Every structure is written in structure tokens, then in C-alpha cells.
Chain A
């Protein structure tokens, strides 16, 4: 597993409030929505229009030190994508973008998902280096890669 270190125990919602991206009321609304409909809090905040995907990516980058990778214009190697089954990529919202030796670079919307990283390491037998991307960018990249298969 990668040397992922969580530098704070604070939740994403709290970090967004601290950075004044959202208000506590908006967070509460998002949490209420999550209780009823399920889903990830970051995605719900974006869906409800309380924050932008880029804001969330920046918080993750600043708080945890994950590098941010805008995927919009990134050309992904299709052979590399084959390392991860499509259903795994879709469920964890991840896409492999580079492999040097035994190191696999992975763009993901939630780099705190250590179980996803473990699973990718189990499947690919590589050490994963996680990059942050927006959910939309990762999903578009997944569509581009796996649709072409």
C-alpha cells in the first residue's frame, strides 16, 4: 500500500466549512439529503450547488497533500486502463494514468478511500500513487477508456 498519511481527522464537510466554501447549514442539508438518498457527501454538495468539484479537490490537495491532476486534456493509455477492471474503476471512481516500473499512478475523486487503493494494489500488484481529480473528470476519462475497449 502507498504511504498515504492522513494529516487530520477532520471530515471533508468540516474542512469545507473552515475554508468558508460552505456554511454549516448547507452541510446539514447535504447530510440530511445523504441520509435519505445515500451517496457521497462531496458529490451531494456539488449536486446541491453548495460547492464546486474543484473546491473539494483543492481542499483535499491542501489538507492531505495529494497532487491535483486535471484530467480533461489528459491522454490516457488504454493498455494501462486494462490493469483495472471496468466495474472496479466505475465503483471507486478511479482511473490509472501512468505506470513506471512497479509504481501505478491513479487519479481518483476520493484519495482517502484506502480500501480502493488496496484493491487496486491487489489487482495490479503495483504500488499506487494517488492523484486527486474531480469526479466529473474521472468519470469522463472512464467513459473514454472503457468505451473504446
Chain B
């Protein structure tokens, strides 16, 4: 009801129906009044036509005047709606000097102002986004640096350090690939990489490409993009990686070049930032430390001569010492025996009693072995369950006597143990020169050597 009333009311309508109503009021009603005056004889017929004409002209004039006011308002309203919907580039174009012109100018200025503000906000938004991305990548890189420092100090394996460095590098400086290449005697190896194609990897390993990568080992940063380099070597490098931008740092250890660390991408117009270059230098330094640590720990391992579990000499020492003793034996025309003592049920002991108990058996056996070791003899653990004793100046017969003593020493050591905990011992004797003329040939015969019978 209320809606119908509103619909019927002329006040509730928009400007255009109101214009029609106004026209009716201004023209139809005066005409009807005029006709009434004519037919009631108030007005003479001879002035009817001029009066009628004047009324129509005035009505039309009034209509057009009103239309001139209303139409721009309607257009402004329509444009304002479009602007309100977000089309800020829309302009209200009324070149008039009156209030409507001022209104349209004011609206245009307001729209422009809003548009400028919106543009500015957009720019700020983009900048904020870039800053966020930069902060994120720097946070990732810094946390990566911390993580790598931690794992290096924890003594993590070099391959694991390489993998973590590569995964962190792949997240910085729009890298589409990252790699570590190490130099061996004739070519480069790629122990870790991200995003390098198989054909590039194969090319890096080719000895023919050593001349492209070799100059990178000794120098500092190699920072390049294809628009800034013109020399043949750098272009060859970009071609090798199918990249347009490359950032490469050398890795050195113990004062010698080890390899290179690099990232790259195929982006046009890209440039590495100072932050990227600094981060890469830190990553390269960390890798140098990791490589150096690895080399040192290998050296330490090589220098180790004792077996951790038993305290006897380890396999490496016994092998080297046996070689030395055989050389001495050859030089003095003497024999050198090598007694091999195996716990043949060691696997059973381990599965039945557990690793700790099995290692106890090993330790007790080693202790029994040390009881019969002479001044110039050397005993060691040469396999998981195998011991060896170098007996310089002794031949098979003499070594067999020592073997029998060893057997009884072991029997004594395990006398109080239950049967399930006793080792089954097999002793065999090898001798230079009968069984071989160096340590390798004697070690080779360990498996096939005949065991000593009681």
C-alpha cells in the first residue's frame, strides 16, 4: 500500500517524471483554462489563436528550460553511480558556467583526488609487498645461514650440508637453479644441485668444459648477466648453464680451491642485489668451512690406529704394519706369520644376547689376545668378528704354538660363562713367504685359510 502510494506520488518519482508533471502543469492546465475561458465567452475567438500560440510557445520554452536543468543532473547522477562503482577514470564533462558546471567540476576534482589516493595506495601496496618479499627471503636466508652454521658445528656429513645450502639458495634471488661443483683431477663433479637440467649436469662433468669453469676457482665473485658481459669466457659460461644471470663464488679449503657455488636464472632485465651477493659470499664461506672440517675429520680418521670397541689396533694399522713387517722379513730372509682368530658364532651371539653382550664377548676375546702378544707382535681387530696378530720372525710352526696358547687363554677367559655366551673360536695361520709376499695377499687368504685343529 505504502509502495503503491509512493508510486502514485509525483514527489517520489525521479526527476524525469517530475519534469513531465511540471510540463503538464505549465502547459496542459493553462491550455484547458484558456479553452474554458473561450467556451464560456470570456475570451473572444479572434484573440484565441494568438493566445493559444503564445501559451504553447511559453509552455515549450518552460519545458526546454526545465529540461536543460534536469538533464545534466540526471547525467551527473548516472556518472556518479559509475564512479561510485569504481570507474575512477570516468569524467563528468559539462562546460557550463552555472552551478551544474561547478557541481560537475567539483565531482571531477573529487574523483581525481580519490583516484590519486587510490593510485598512491596501490603503489604503497606494491612496495609493501616487495618489502615483505625481501624481508621474507632475507629471513629465510638468515635462518638458513644459522641452520647451516649449526649443522656444520654438529659435524653433519658434508653431503647433508651441501643439500641444505642448495635448498636455501633455491629460495633467494629468483634462482631457477643452484649448484655446487667440485673439481677432481680432470673434471668437475656436481655433488648437489637444484633445478639443473640433466644435459647441463652432463656438460658440467665433461672434461672439455673444465677450461670454462677452471678460471672461477681462483677468483672472487662472478656476477654477470647477459646484457653486461661481452667476453667469450663469460658468454661461454652463461651458455653452459642456459642462463641469462649467474652469481658464482669459489669454495676453497686448506688454502686450495675446492669448487664453486652458484645460482642463476633465465630472467630478462634481472640484476642481483648487494644483499644477494653478500649472502652468497657467506654461504660460500660456510661451505669452505664445512669442506675443511670434512677434510680434517677424514685426516683424523686416517690417523686413528685403534679400534674403538676393543682398544686393539684397527684393520688399517694392522694391514700397514703387516706390509712393513713382510718387507723387513724379505730383507732379512726371515718368515713373518699372521695369526687370524675368528669368532664364528658372533652373529648368533648378537642376535641371541644382543649387541651389548656380543660386544662384551669381543672385548673379552681381545683381552685374552693381549695376554699372549709378545713384545714385537701386534694384535688388532681386522673385521667385525675377526682379529689378527702379526708375528714377526715366526714361521707357521711357531705361530701354531701361539695359536694353541691363544685358544687356551680364550677358554680360560670364558670358563665361568654359560655355554650360550661362549665364543666359538677358529684360528688359522698365514705366513709370508708361504702364503703371500705382501699384506694384501695374506688378507685375501683369510677366508680360505685352514683352521688350526687342536
From A87, A92, A122, give the contact of B333 (CB < 8 A): A92
Check B396 against A122 for contact (C-beta < 8 Å): yes
Residue of A nearest to B396 (CB): A122
Is A49 at the interface (CB under 8 A from chain B)? no
A40 near B397 with CB under 8 A, answer no
- Is B334's CB within 8 Å of the partner chain A? yes
List chain A residues, Cβ under 8 A from B331: 38-39
CB <8 Å contact, A115 and B398: yes
CA distance A115 to B432 in the complex (A): 12
**Chain B: CB-nearest residue to A135:** B333
Give complex CA distance A123, B396 in Å: 11
A116 to B437 Cα, complex, angstroms: 15
| Alpha-carbon distance between A70 and B329 when the two chains are bound, in angstroms | 26
A residues less than 8 Å from B393 (CB atoms): 115
| Pick from B332, B431, B437: contact of A119, CB under 8 Å | B431
From known contacts A40-B333, A110-B333, A113-B333, infer whether A91 and B396 are also in contact, taking CB-CB under 8 Å: no
| B residues near A91, Cβ cutoff 8 Å | 329-330, 333, 432-433, 437
Q: How far is the CA of A113 from the CA of B332 in the complex (A)?
A: 10
In the complex, per-residue mask of B405-433: 1 if CB is within 8 Å of any chain A CB, else 0: 00000000000000000000000000111
The smallest beta-carbon distance between B454 and chain A, in angstroms, is 19
Q: Give B216-247 interface residues, CB cut-off 8 Å to A.
A: none
- Interface majority SS on B: helix, strand, loop or mixed? loop
Question: Interface digits, B297-332 against A, CB 8 Å rule (1 contact, 0 not)?
Answer: 000000000000000000000000000000011111
A38 neighbours in B (Cβ, 8 Å): 328, 331-332
Q: Quick one: which of B370-410 are within 8 Å of A by CB? A: 393-398
In the bound complex, how far is the Cα of B434 from the Cα of A119, in angstroms?
A: 8
Using a CB-CB cutoff of 8 Å, which residues 317-358 of chain B contact chain A? 328-335
The answer to whether A98 has its CB under 8 Å from any CB of chain B is no
Closest to B327 in A: A38
| Chain B, interface residues (CB within 8 Å), range | 20 to 34
Nearest Cβ distance between residue B394 and chain A, in whole angstroms?
Answer: 8
Interface contact B334-A115, CB-CB below 8 Å: yes
A95 to chain B, nearest CB (A): 13
Nearest CB on B from A89, distance (A) = 9
Task: Mark each residue of chain B from 435 to 454: 1 if its CB lies under 8 Å from any CB of chain A, else 0.
Answer: 01100000000000000000
In the bound assembly, the distance between CA atoms of A39 and B433 in angstroms comes to 17
Q: Which residues from A are CB-within-8-Å of B437? A: 87, 91
Tell whether, in the assembled complex, residue A93 and residue B333 are in contact, meaning their CB atoms are under 8 Å apart. yes
B436's closest neighbor in chain A, by CB?
Answer: A87
In the complex, whether A118 has a CB less than 8 A from a CB of chain B is yes
A residues sitting closer than 8 Å to B (CB atoms) are 38-40, 85, 87-88, 90-93, 110, 113, 115-116, 118-119, 122-123
Given contacts A91-B333, A113-B334, A115-B334, 10 further A-B contacts (CB under 8 A): A39-B331, A85-B434, A87-B433, A88-B433, A88-B434, A92-B433, A115-B398, A116-B335, A119-B431, A123-B434
Closest 8 CB pairs of A and B: A91-B433, A115-B395, A38-B331, A87-B433, A88-B433, A87-B437, A115-B335, A119-B395
